Amino acid sequence: MDDAPVTPAGSPAPASPRPGGPADPTGQVAAATAQAPHRPRAGRTRLVLGILTLIALAASAAFLTYGVDGHWDFALPRRAATLGALAVVGAAIAVSTVVFHTITHNRILTPGIMGMDSLYVLAAASVVTATGNSASAVLGPVGAFAANTLLMTGLALVLYRWLIGDGSRGLYTLLLVGVIGGTLFGSLTSFLLRTMDPNQYDALMSDLFASFTAVDLRLLATAAALLALCGGAAWWLAPRLDVLTLGRERAIGLGVDYRRTVTLAMGIVALLVAASTALVGPLTFLGVVVANLAYRLTRTYRHRVNMVAAALVAVAALVTAQTVLQHVLRFNGTVGSLVALVGGTWFLWLLVKEARS
């Protein structure tokens, strides 16, 4: 007896085409079957990125136009430079944090744990102690930017090549040495602060607090070029970073050159963090906040999506904070202090959540 399914009228029903089989010679059913589960996720990703883009554009428009009162020729160039600095720094910190979370397999860490922020503060304090002036006054804006970038990038890469080894334990050793180094740099900075006179202290404070209102356009262009270079490298490396989320052993089993990939990723992180810190100063906890918000919004492991989402969140957050502080409240405080307050609170909440889970 024929085992074919029977329709209510009693006639045999047409056989369902088997994916890739004789009834589906072009593989269209197989392609549709493979793509069907991803359509809702892809649509949700586009929606999230679209909303974040609109929020970032709206915040940028508000920052450029709020309270101008017709003085466009004076206000727009100055505000555009500040907006450019906010966008470059936000995107650099967001991309570097997402990549750093992957290579450390920990989403509550920031690249600052390697001690680069503390080294920046120590270098600035050392220059002021030795010369009585800030690094920008001694070396010039471009020279100070180049020196700080090379110093912080060199520290991260030297520590990595010295400590990483061939196993995952090297990463934790790197982080431990970074924490110890950051503590040492902080102690040396505290000693130098106690030996300064008030004028030297004022010169130092001008370099230590993140400020976006007096950014040199040459430095901004250099930082933007570094962001484009490192962002392009991170975009190209993203498929391998997706595999790294499975763990070191599985990534190696799938053909990923683990040591080379992590070395390149660490170089990207170090250069982005160094450039953003040298441009405006340290912004503690910003990366943790924007990266974890991006993970919650996108709900995907794909680095290209997460990097774009984190960058949009960072730009929207920084521009909104700068708009409120500078134009609405007429407050002379810095965005860095507000980021530290919000980011520190968020970081403590993440620690409590991780401990409970």
∠ at Cα 308 (303, 309), nearest 5°? 95
Question: Which span out of 18-32, 137-151, 299-313 was modeled with the highest average pLDDT?
Answer: 299-313
pTM of this structure: 0.77
pLDDT of 310: 94
pLDDT of 279: 81
In tens, the pLDDT along 99-111 reads 988 988 888 777 7
Average pLDDT of 205-212? 66
Least confident range from 164-173, 186-195, 205-214, 316-325: namely 164-173
pLDDT of 340: 66
Average pLDDT of 84-99? 91
The alpha helices in the chain, defined as continuous H runs, are 28-35, 38-65, 72-104, 116-131, 135-163, 169-195, 198-208, 217-244, 248-253, 258-280, 286-298, 303-323, 335-356
Q: For the chain, which domains are there?
A: 79-356 (1.10.3470.10)
For residue 31, pLDDT over 60 is answered with: no
pLDDT of 306: 94
pLDDT of 24: 44
In tens, the pLDDT along 52-88 reads 999 999 999 988 888 777 777 777 888 888 889 889 9
For residue 12, pLDDT over 70 is answered with: no
pLDDT of 23: 43
CA 311 to CA 296: how far, in whole Å?
14
Q: Which residues pair with 6 in a beta bridge?
A: 12
pLDDT of 196: 81
